[in-house]
């Protein structure tokens, strides 16, 4: 039996954080994970990676497939991300409701250099996460609504 980390022990909710894609994705994902509020735990990375692979290879990738994966891993929400390098770095995140798999919000953060993007991720994650979770609360989520932010 593996002992839970202090963060996992205090967690009120669990997020399925699928492995990010793109250049420097692992570093950016680690920064995001470390910037989540303390009451949020993440599904272990190996389970998240297997879950992401399963969704890509064996399902249609529809909302119900995401919801089924979240239920299986006891996650309240799902976060996916892609890092791109163009005239700087860009991180695009999607958050899904764990109950129904629907996308509840999308955000794009940018930085001229990787360190600028990492700073933006560290500074903005807690507020973004809180705003997205508000939409998941009963009565707050409007079906079909997708929140878009650009910072």
Instruction: For 44-90, write each residue's pLDDT tens digit.
Output: 999 999 998 998 888 888 999 999 999 999 999 999 999 999 899 99
Does residue 5 have a pLDDT over 60? Answer: no
H/E segment holding residue 125: helix 114-136
Does residue 151 have a pLDDT over 60? Answer: no
- pLDDT tier at 2 (50, 70, 90 boundaries)? very low
The residue-averaged pLDDT of 89-93 equals: 97
Model pLDDT, residue 137 = 62
Model pLDDT, residue 136 = 74
- pLDDT tier at 145 (50, 70, 90 boundaries)? very low
The answer to whether the CB of 131 falls within 8 A of the CB of 105 is yes
pTM of the predicted model as reported, rounded to 2 decimal places: 0.81
Q: Parallel, antiparallel, or unpaired for β 40-42 and 13-17? A: parallel
Give the 3-state secondary structure of residue 21. strand
How far, in Å, CA of 139 to CA of 63, rounded? 19
Give bridge partners of residue 89 from the DSSP assignment.
85, 111
The answer to whether the CB of 50 falls within 8 A of the CB of 44 is no
How far, in Å, CA of 143 to CA of 54, rounded? 26
């Amino acid at each position: 039996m593996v002992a839970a980390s202090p963060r996992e022990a205090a967690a009120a909710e669990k997020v399925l954080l699928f492995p990010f894609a793109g250049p420097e994705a692992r570093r950016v994902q680690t920064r995001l994970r470390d910037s989540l509020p303390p009451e949020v735990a993440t599904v272990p990375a190996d389970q998240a990676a297997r879950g992401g692979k399963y969704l890509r290879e064996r399902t249609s990738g529809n909302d119900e497939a995401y919801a089924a994966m979240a239920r299986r891993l006891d996650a309240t929400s799902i976060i996916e991300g892609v890092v791109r390098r163009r005239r700087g770095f860009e991180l695009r995140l999607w958050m899904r409701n764990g109950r129904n798999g629907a996308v509840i919000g999308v955000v794009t953060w940018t930085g001229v250099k990787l360190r600028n993007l990492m700073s933006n991720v560290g500074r903005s994650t807690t507020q973004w996460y809180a705003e997205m979770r508000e939409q998941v609360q009963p009565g707050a989520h409007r079906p079909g609504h997708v929140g878009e932010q650009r910072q």
